[in-house]
Amino acid sequence: MKVAVIGSRGLCVNHLDDYMPAGVTEIISGGAKGIDSCAKEYAITHNLSIIEFLPEYEKYGRVAPLKRNISIIKNADIVLAFWDGVSHGTKFVIDKCKNYDIPIIVYMMK
pLDDT tens for each residue of 57-82:
999 999 999 999 999 999 999 999 99
**Alpha-carbon torsion angle 94, 50, 13, 46, nearest 10:** 140
Which amino acid is it at 95?
A: D
pTM for the predicted model, two decimal places: 0.94
Compute the distance between CA of residue 96 and CA of residue 70 in angstroms, rounded to an integer.
Answer: 8
CATH class of 2-108: alpha beta
Question: Domain-by-domain residue ranges, the chain?
Answer: 2-108
Asked if the model's pLDDT at residue 12 lies above 90, the reply is no
What are the residue ranges of helices labelled H in 1-110? 35-45, 57-60, 64-74, 88-99
Do 72 and 50 meet the contact criterion of CB atoms below 8 Å apart? no
